[in-house]
Amino acid sequence: MIKIPKRLQSKKGLKPIKVSKVLAIDFDGVIHDYKHPIEGRRMGLPISGAKESLLQFKQKGYTIIIHSVRGGSSEHIAAFMDYYGLTYDTITNIKPNADYYIDDKAVKFTDWDNVNTIIYG
């Protein structure tokens, strides 16, 4: 949180503002279970704990960006999120600028030797 000096608060009536951290969260495999689609549908149920975690992040002031490489528009993702009451701020199909990335297929980069060990075994 950015603190505004008291001398400015009294003169300008300014209050401290909250600076939000940004979470970029992958849709497939993190928000919904794509490995087990609901019969007759392309998507599965929300991943256990997703709803509660998204709500908690929002309550703590995080900006939540849902991202997916799925083709087409983001309307089907928004419909899914809204149907299941999942909290988010925006949806995109490009890698957003964020403080943290949550993805089921991510490899945490520490150095290239470590990445090669993870990928090649």
Does residue 56 lie within any of the structural domains? yes
pLDDT of residue 72: 60
Report the candidate in 26, 28, 24, 2 with the shortest Cα–Cα distance to residue 99: 24
Q: Dump strand ranges (E) for the chain.
A: 22-26, 32-37, 44-46, 63-67, 90-92, 100-102
What is this structure's pTM? 0.79
Phi/psi of residue 24, each to 5°?
A: -105, 115
Instruction: Residue 42: give the domain boundaries.
Output: 19-120
Number of domains, the chain:
1
pLDDT band at 6 (very low <50, low <70, confident <90, very high): low
**CATH assignment at residue 97:** 3.40.50.1000
Residues composing the chain: 121
pLDDT of residue 119: 92
Check whether 61 has a pLDDT greater than 80.
yes
Does residue 25 lie within any of the structural domains? yes
Does residue 2 lie within any of the structural domains? no
pLDDT of residue 1: 46
Does residue 8 lie within any of the structural domains? no
Question: Nearest 10 degrees: CA dihedral of 106, 46, 34, 82?
Answer: -100
Does residue 9 lie within any of the structural domains? no
